[in-house]
Amino acid sequence: MEKLQKLKDFCSFLNMLNVQSIRADFPILNREIYPGVPLVFLDSAASTQRPSVVLEAMDDYYRQHHANVHRGIHRLSEEATELYEGARERIADFVNATGSCQIIYTRNATEGFNLVAYSWGRTNIEEGDEILLTEMEHHANLIPWQMLAKEKGAVLRYVPFLEDGTLDLSTLPKLLTEKTKLFSFTAVSNVFGTVNPVRQLVDAAHAVGALAMVDAAQAVPHMPVDVQAWDCDFMAFSGHKMCGPTGIGVLFGKRELLDAMPPFMGGGDMILRVDFEGATWNELPWKFEAGTPSIAEAIGLGTAVDYLNDLGMDEVHAYEQFLTGYALESLSEVPGLRLYGPASAGQKGAVTSFTVAGIHPHDVADILDKQGIAVRAGHHCAMPLHHRCGISATTRASFYLHTTTEEIDKLVAGLHHARQVFRL
């Protein structure tokens, strides 16, 4: 434990984030899950908690500014539109898009992949074309392409991962060919935590004339993301994984691609003109946003972006790397525990997935829950990855900017207790 104490002292010395002050921003962290049992929330990879400023921004919209956007000339509609579009501009700045027209509001990252598969894919993918994915993809970046490939007669190929949870990049020359039309991959694995070399993968796709799409659901909330530096053609992420509300996500796309794509859905607000014979589509980004949008949710996401910007994404990333390193070393002390993914915090996001010999992951999670510790157990919407590892499920603890080393200590103590319950 001497080394762990040195890590604690190192974190305190750097003062990367004022974590206790941050924790005060999240009302739910004051909750007792059971009488006398405080919440230890270690499930941020599934969905993060929301700070008060996000809740207040959405409440203020409903109390003071609610009206439909883009469709009225009265004061409330103008205020709502300004708040809604202002959030889009700040989100564009957050990922360094060249313009807010490249930011398409979706319900979540999953809808972003489906939008590209439906609109770009059904226009550009033909029989015999190939779509390249990786073996560590979330179902959101797998099922839409399976559906498209089945419909079009296309072929899916996969970049395998190595035993350490990193991609086998040596296979890229064989997998990326003139037949490849799209390479869609995760920036950070939601199971292994592996941080993939995004720009290298994008460049490899472009070298054979393919487009590159990035699943950034586990990246945008945790580290600085620059779509221009990545040079990706599309990128999707979700608001609820970055201190924002559910029901709102973002699809980023290069403008020339979005301009050429047909609409995803038809209805109000995605048109400029309609007559009985046909319609003319609206400009970007509204061409892809049919119907009344999630106005309050977009405003909440814009406020979440402001909150993260105020903290500083470099600082958030540095603190989470410290936490991950602390967790990896602490968890290694639990007998029978096997960690999945890279062994170095420098190669990982704030995710640790593991199994404990002799205890099913669901039982681990249930025992931890009785101690107020919220983790996730199951396949984490990545069944093929687990099958490839020869297991059906893992327990996953994931951290965020409000996580403390004391909470990780409680996790480790809870795992020791689980082994005692099972008499291991």
- Cα-only R_g, the chain: 22
The length of the chain in residues reads: 424
Q: What is the DSSP letter of 399?
A: -
- What is the full DSSP assignment across 220-282? TTTS---HHHHT-SEEEEEGGGTTS-SS-EEEEE-HHHHHHSPPSS-STTSEEEEETTEEEEP
Residue entry with tokens 């899950």: 33
Q: Which residues are catalytic?
A: 381
Tokens found for residue 240: 């609820």
The helix (run of H) or strand (run of E) holding residue 207 is helix 198-207
Which residues have a Cβ under 8 Å from the Cβ of 25 and sit 6 or more positions away?
51, 52, 53, 307, 402
Straight-line distance from the first to the last Cα atom of the chain, in angstroms, rounded to the nearest whole number: 23
In this structure, which amino acid lies at residue 353? S
Asked if 69 and 81 touch (Cβ cutoff 8 Å), the reply is yes
Q: What distances in angstroms separate CA 267 from CA 101, 202, 258, one per listed residue?
A: 19, 34, 18
Which residues have a Cβ under 8 Å from the Cβ of 138 and sit 6 or more positions away?
186, 190, 215, 217, 380, 381, 382
Compute the distance between CA of residue 196 and CA of residue 146 in angstroms, rounded to an integer.
22
Q: What distances in angstroms separate CA 222 from CA 52, 79, 397, one per listed residue?
A: 19, 31, 15
Residue 290's CB is within 10 A of a number of other CB atoms, namely 17
Asked if 418 and 363 touch (Cβ cutoff 8 Å), the reply is yes
